[in-house]
Structure 1
């Protein structure tokens, strides 16, 4: 009679762990996956910026009555006039920098550039010297 031997091979726990580690692969993102991840990462900044842009104008608009009628006079800008020259003309006894600042604030100007024919309000505190 012939004897046939039968043995089972059970891998050791260390060998099984190495085999699983070899099979585990790194996460690989496709180009589309990277784009989706970038959009998701930037989404809070996009939302905050959108809210600031859409809601930022509300802070500028107000329903205040504005300056009282007697608190200023008006001057029409002539060709070649600047805020500095107007300030020196309407308030010769004051520092022109302060007068220009008062005119800019009262008129809500974005810059110190003025156009010929533009009407400017002059604070009454400076116009009284004229």
Structure 2
């Protein structure tokens, strides 16, 4: 008695144009959520981008050559932790990082304003 083995034909996955579009759309969903979150969080900045911000909520300083956010934070709030001050300056000015350039104008939270 002999046995006959039947091999299933090899099937190949084929993506149609519509399938590729659906797959690309599904892959784009996380990127869309990340982009919308970045746009929403960027709206928290009030000084540099919103002309309706009350002037009592901040004062401005101009970055001098060789200064960093750390040195500015130490100057405007010597009693506070510079990391906290830097975080507030970054958020208030909607900075994308912690690098500043000479001549740049920065808004400083009013709580760190020098006494009149």
- What TM-score do you get using the length of structure 1 for normalisation? 0.60
- Where structure 1 has 5 or more consecutive residues not aligned to the other structure, the ranges are 1-14
Q: What SS does the aligned partner of 1:110 have?
A: coil
Residues 58 and 109, structure 2, Cα contact 8 Å, conserved in 1: yes
Computing the radius of gyration from Cα coordinates, the structure with the larger value is 1
Q: 1:94 aligns with which of 80, 102, 114?
A: 80
- Where structure 2 has 5 or more consecutive residues not aligned to the other structure, the ranges are none
* Alpha-carbon distance between aligned partners in 2 of 1:125 and 1:113, rounded to the nearest angstrom: 23
* Cα distance change, pair 50–29 in 1 and its aligned pair in 2 (3 A): farther
**What is the Cα deviation at residue 55 of structure 1?**
4.6
Query: In the alignment, what sits opposite 1:28?
Result: 10
Taking only aligned residues, the RMSD between alpha carbons, in angstroms, comes to 3.5
- What TM-score do you get using the length of structure 2 for normalisation? 0.65
Higher relative contact order (CA 8 A, sep 6+): 2
Residues 62 and 105, structure 2, Cα contact 8 Å, conserved in 1: yes
* Alpha-carbon distance between aligned partners in 2 of 1:101 and 1:53, rounded to the nearest angstrom: 21
Give the number of aligned pairs.
106
Q: Is 1:122 paired with 2:101?
A: no
**What is the Cα deviation at residue 49 of structure 1?**
3.7
* Alpha-carbon distance between aligned partners in 1 of 2:81 and 2:7, rounded to the nearest angstrom: 74
Q: What SS does the aligned partner of 1:98 have?
A: helix
